[in-house]
Structure 1
Amino acid sequence: MFSLTASMNYYLYAYPTDMRRSFYTLSGMVTNQMGKNIQDGDVFIFINRACTSMKILHMEFGGLVIYHMKLESGNFSLPILDENTNTFQITWQDLMTIVQGISTNKKPNKKRWKKPL
C-alpha cells in the first residue's frame, strides 16, 4: 500500500491545476483531458500555476490515493513540455528530481525548506 515504483508509468499534466480538486475531478481530468484510464494503474501528476504544490493521483488496490506535496519555499522545476500535447510522460527518476529540486542543467538546485538543527 502507498507505493510508487520505477516500473510504473508516470504522466505529468502540462497545464496548471487547481489544487482544490480532489479524487473525482482529478480522475475526470485523467479521462477527459489526458485521454487515459485511471484504472490502468498509471500515476498522474498535477502541479499548480506557481509550481509550489503537486498532487499525484494513483489507483492502488482497493481505491484511489492522492499524494499532496506543498513546498514551504522554492518551486518545482519542470521539464520542457511539448506544446502540442497536454500529457507528458516522465520517468520515476524525473519525478524524484522534480520533488527534490535537483536541477539537470548547470543552474543551482532549487531552494527547499530544511528542518532547523
Structure 2
Amino acid sequence: MFFPEGRIRVFLCRVPVDMRKSFDGLSALVRNTLAQDPLSGHCFVFVNHRATQIRVLYWDRTGYSLWAKRLERGRFWDWRKPPASEMDWTHLKLLLEGIEVGRQRRRYHRQASEKLAEISI
C-alpha cells in the first residue's frame, strides 16, 4: 500500500472493539461510531479491550483492505488515557512500530557534579 502521506487521515475508534469483526462489521463501526464514510480512502484504527491487537481498515478504490497486528508483550496504550481520535499517518506508523510519540525519556542523566567537573577542566 502506498499512500501520499499528506492526504491520508487516520481516525481512531476510542472504544474497545471485538477483534472477531471483519470488513463489514468494522465498516459499520466506522459509519455508526466514528460518523465517517468508510469508502473515503482514509484509515480507521480499531484496538481490542486489552490493547494488544490493532486493526486498520481502509478502502483502496478496488475494495476494503485490513491490516492486523498482535503484540506478544506490552500494549499499544492504556485505555485510561487513549490517544486523540484523529492522528496523522506518521503517528500511526510509529504506533505500529511500538514508538510512543508523547513520551520522551533520557536514558542517562549526568550528575551535576560530573557536569561541573567537565566545565572546570
TM-score higher than 0.5 here? yes
Which letter does structure 2 place at the counterpart of 1:62?
Answer: T
Query: How high is the TM-score relative to the length of structure 1?
Result: 0.77
RMSD in angstroms over aligned alpha carbons? 2.0
Query: Aligned partners of 1:80, 1:23: CA distance in 2, in Å?
Result: 24
Contact 2:42 2:58 in 1 (8 A): yes
Which protein has greater RCO, CA pairs closer than 8 Å, 6+ apart? 1
2:54 aligned counterpart, secondary structure: strand
Which stretches in structure 2 are left out of the alignment for 5+ residues?
107-121
Contact 2:41 2:61 in 1 (8 A): no
Between the aligned residues of both structures, percent identity stands at: 25
Residue 65 (structure 1) shift = 0.4
**Structure with more of its chain in strand, by fraction:** 1
Which letter does structure 1 place at the counterpart of 2:98?
Answer: G
Contact 1:47 1:53 in 2 (8 A): yes
Deviations 1:37-77 (A, max 9, x none): 01111110000111110000000121000001111221113
Which stretches in structure 1 are left out of the alignment for 5+ residues?
83-87, 109-117
Residue 25 (structure 1) shift = 0.7
Pair 1:37-2:37 in alignment: yes
1:34 aligned counterpart, secondary structure: coil
Residue 106 (structure 1) shift = 3.1
Given the alignment, which residue of 86, 89, 98 partners 1:89?
Answer: 86
Contact 1:43 1:57 in 2 (8 A): yes
Count of paired positions: 102
Query: Aligned partners of 2:4, 2:43: CA distance in 1, in Å?
Result: 10
**Structure with more of its chain in helix, by fraction:** 2
Query: Aligned partners of 1:72, 1:107: CA distance in 2, in Å?
Result: 24
Larger Rg: 2
2:77 aligned counterpart, secondary structure: coil
Contact 2:52 2:75 in 1 (8 A): yes
Query: How high is the TM-score relative to the length of structure 2?
Result: 0.75
Query: Aligned partners of 2:87, 2:4: CA distance in 1, in Å?
Result: 13
